[in-house]
Amino acid sequence: MRANCMADVSDEKLDRGARCIKTLAHPLRLKVLAVLAGREMSVGEILDAIGTTQSNVSQHLSQLRDKGVLASRREGNQVFYRVRDPKLFDLLALVRELFCDRPVDGWAA
């Protein structure tokens, strides 16, 4: 049954699926997820860790939150982001396993 789990998927669902996957398909967003692995961080901390403009980080964070990948929480002046579901890292590990020659090395050719 596994092999057939994708049969008869409607075009609309394929669109939504593609949009979801697209959410993960950007180096800065992957870096955000890497940095957020395990812990919660404020936008400022993420900004320091990532290295781009404040506006750019903010936009990527919004995108990740809008798609349900991240959750956020305001505390006074700051906003903290976290990965909503740790299964996400299983997914990313699977991506590596599938696309990498030598998984230990990280993302591959």
Partner DNA sequence: ACAATATATAAGAATATTCTTATATTAATG
Partner DNA sequence: CATTAATATAAGAATATTCTTATATATTGT
98 near a second copy, judged by CB under 8 A: yes
Q: Which amino acid is at 69?
A: V
Could you tell me which stretch among 40-48, 52-60, 62-70, 72-80 binds a second copy (CB under 8 A)?
62-70
Neighbours of 31 (CB within 10 A): 17
Q: Output 4 or 55, the one with its CB closest to DNA.
A: 55
- Residue 26: CB minimum distance to a second copy, A: 5
Which residue of 31, 33, 58, 92 would you call a contact of DNA, by CB under 7 A? 58
Distance CA 56, CA 59 (A): 5
In sequence order, which residues have a C-beta less than 8 Å from that of residue 73 and are 6 or more positions away?
40, 79, 80, 82
Member of 74, 75, 77, 87 binding a second copy (CB under 8 A): 87
In angstroms, rounded to a whole number, what is the distance separating the alpha carbons of residues 75 and 90?
A: 29
* Residue 8 backbone dihedrals phi, psi, to 5 degrees: 55, 40
Q: Is 37 in the site for a second copy (CB under 8 A)?
A: yes
Binding site for DNA (CB under 7 A): 19, 22, 25-26, 28, 42-44, 47, 52-56, 58-63, 72, 74, 76-79
